[in-house]
Structure 1
Amino acid sequence: MKPTFYLLLAFLSFSLNAQKNIHHRWDRMLQEYVDESGQVNYKSWYQNQDNLDAYIKTLSNLPPHESDSKNSKLAYWINAYNALTVQLVLKNYPLESIKDIKDPWEIKCFNTQEKSYTLGEIEHEILRKMEEPRIHFAINCASQSCPNLWNKAFQEKQLEAQLVCVTESFLKDKSKNEIYPTRLKLSRIFLWFGKDFGSKEERLEFIQRYSGVRLSNPKIDYLPYDWSLNK
């Protein structure tokens, strides 16, 4: 029995370490192919897709456990969504927009032991149901009007600070939102997913908190959405 026990202990230890370090490979790729403004060098990445494919395979083999923390699950699925989006673009490269791909969010692109997922399912059935509205500024749809693809992997221990950073960055980026005390020109993310931010008053409080602009009964409009590739 003892050899079996120690083998099991070693396996569990290996699994825990693998999960702890699971996103390091993705972090290195982001630093290599994504600049500080979120623009992606798809041309170079297209020439070297092996690391990306290997990372996604690792994710599929190490899905979150029920006992994992909420932040661990969020980091896993945010990183998975972003990596799968890049992989989808590279599989169809060259292209000018993710919308050049037929129904890009409805393609089964990720398998775990339990289920196959589309990008839409990851976003709507997993991430949005975790009731963390800031995920909308962490996931990237490979388009200019999307929140930038951050050039760091999301990590369980740093997730709160990371979500604050990407949310503030998105709201303060005047190419994505124009925020003044009495007038808002917002990203359509706030139109499409408005209920994720609560009531109108709660949405305004959210925008005020992360933009740093004190609002006074502002008029609200929405900016056009640029679906051209983030390159």
Structure 2
Amino acid sequence: MKRYTQKGILVTLTGFALTSLVAFTEPGPVTTPTAPVMTLAADPVDHSIYDRLAKKHINEKGLVNYKGFRSDEKELDKYLDLLSKNPPTDKWNQDAQIAYWINAYNAYTIKLILNHYPVKSIKDIGSKIKIPFVTTPWAIKFIPIGSEKISLDNIEHGTLRKKFNDQRIHFALVCAARSCPRLRNEAYTGAKLDAQLDDQGSDFLNNPAKNAISPQKASLSKYFDWYKGDWKEDNKSIEYWVNRYSKTKINKDTDISFLDYNWALNEQ
């Protein structure tokens, strides 16, 4: 018979009881708790359908094969339906929300062109509109998001510019015109958004057809004129944004002008 003291209590065990105790309390192999695996949260909406279509029908210059999109329009509609049924909420992280809205703008712009194809310019759609007080394609409320229908203007000005303080969205939204930034041939995602927007800025500012820059004279995109207030937010300037991405730098003495905008369709 052996005697054990546990928490101040004297316990007497018979040999049988001791054997039983050992059988039940003998430690097994020591294991180290596994730390949780840290992964980047996936976007609440799966953008893979649009990603596949973009890779298939948009080339490295951002030009679109609209005829190809027409052949895959059912797949595009599946993606748009997914967006429609899963609007962002404030529970989403900010990058996932921005990625959703940029993809929605670009994908629905493609859909708008397909609805009126063939056209030489998105601006030609304006003359075809038979809706009172609606004179531009960007004002058509044809986009079902949740329980309401919204326009491209609502996405750009009512949501992205109003809610999110990231001027780089101007490098990502593409209104189907040649002078627009390159239409990216992949979907935007929350996890990659920051790098994607920086890449868009670099591509846009270093494309001489869209921004012709020298230290003495900079002929910039009309974006820098149309949205001059945006570029000056947070005590920044047009000079700041140009120099952030352009390989050729400008200064306060650089003569700045703005290029005419080419509204021809961004078609291959």
TM-score normalized with structure 2 length: 0.77
Q: Which residue pairs with 1:9 in the alignment?
A: none
Contact 2:86/2:146 (CA < 8 Å) preserved in 1?
no
Q: Percent identity?
A: 39
Q: Which residue pairs with 2:141 in the alignment?
A: 108
Q: Aligned equivalents of 1:54 and 1:18: distance in 2?
A: 20
Q: Aligned equivalents of 1:20 and 1:76: distance in 2?
A: 9
Q: Aligned equivalents of 2:110 and 2:44: distance in 1?
A: 23
Contact 1:19/1:62 (CA < 8 Å) preserved in 2?
no
Amino acid at match of 2:84: S
Deviation at 1:48, TM superposition (A): 2.3
Once the two structures are superposed, residues 108-130 of structure 1 have per-residue CA deviations (whole angstroms, 9 ceiling, x without a partner) of: 12122243210011100101111
| CA 73–201 in structure 1, closer or farther in 2 if over 3 Å, else same | closer
Q: Which residue pairs with 1:141 in the alignment?
A: 175
Larger radius of gyration: 2
Instruction: Report whether the alignment pairs 1:93 with 2:117.
Output: yes
Contact 2:50/2:76 (CA < 8 Å) preserved in 1?
yes
Q: Aligned equivalents of 1:211 and 1:18: distance in 2?
A: 32
Unaligned stretches of 5+ in structure 2? 1-40, 127-135
Q: Aligned equivalents of 1:196 and 1:18: distance in 2?
A: 30
Q: Aligned equivalents of 1:69 and 1:62: distance in 2?
A: 15
Amino acid at match of 1:40: V
Unaligned stretches of 5+ in structure 1? 1-16
Deviation at 1:20, TM superposition (A): 3.9
Contact 1:110/1:117 (CA < 8 Å) preserved in 2?
yes
Deviation at 1:47, TM superposition (A): 2.3
Q: Aligned equivalents of 2:147 and 2:94: distance in 1?
A: 19
Q: How many residues align?
A: 215
Q: Aligned equivalents of 2:216 and 2:42: distance in 1?
A: 50
Amino acid at match of 1:138: A
Q: Which residue pairs with 1:24 in the alignment?
A: 48
Deviation at 1:201, TM superposition (A): 5.9
Amino acid at match of 1:93: Y
Contact 2:168/2:201 (CA < 8 Å) preserved in 1?
yes
Q: Which residue pairs with 2:60 in the alignment?
A: 36
Instruction: Report whether the alignment pairs 1:160 with 2:194.
Output: yes
TM-score normalized with structure 1 length: 0.89
Task: Give runs of aligned pairs for residues 21-100 of structure 1, distance below 5 A.
Answer: 22-100=46-124
Q: CA RMSD in A?
A: 1.6
Q: Which residue pairs with 1:10 in the alignment?
A: none
Deviation at 1:19, TM superposition (A): 4.8
Instruction: Report whether the alignment pairs 1:121 with 2:154.
Output: yes
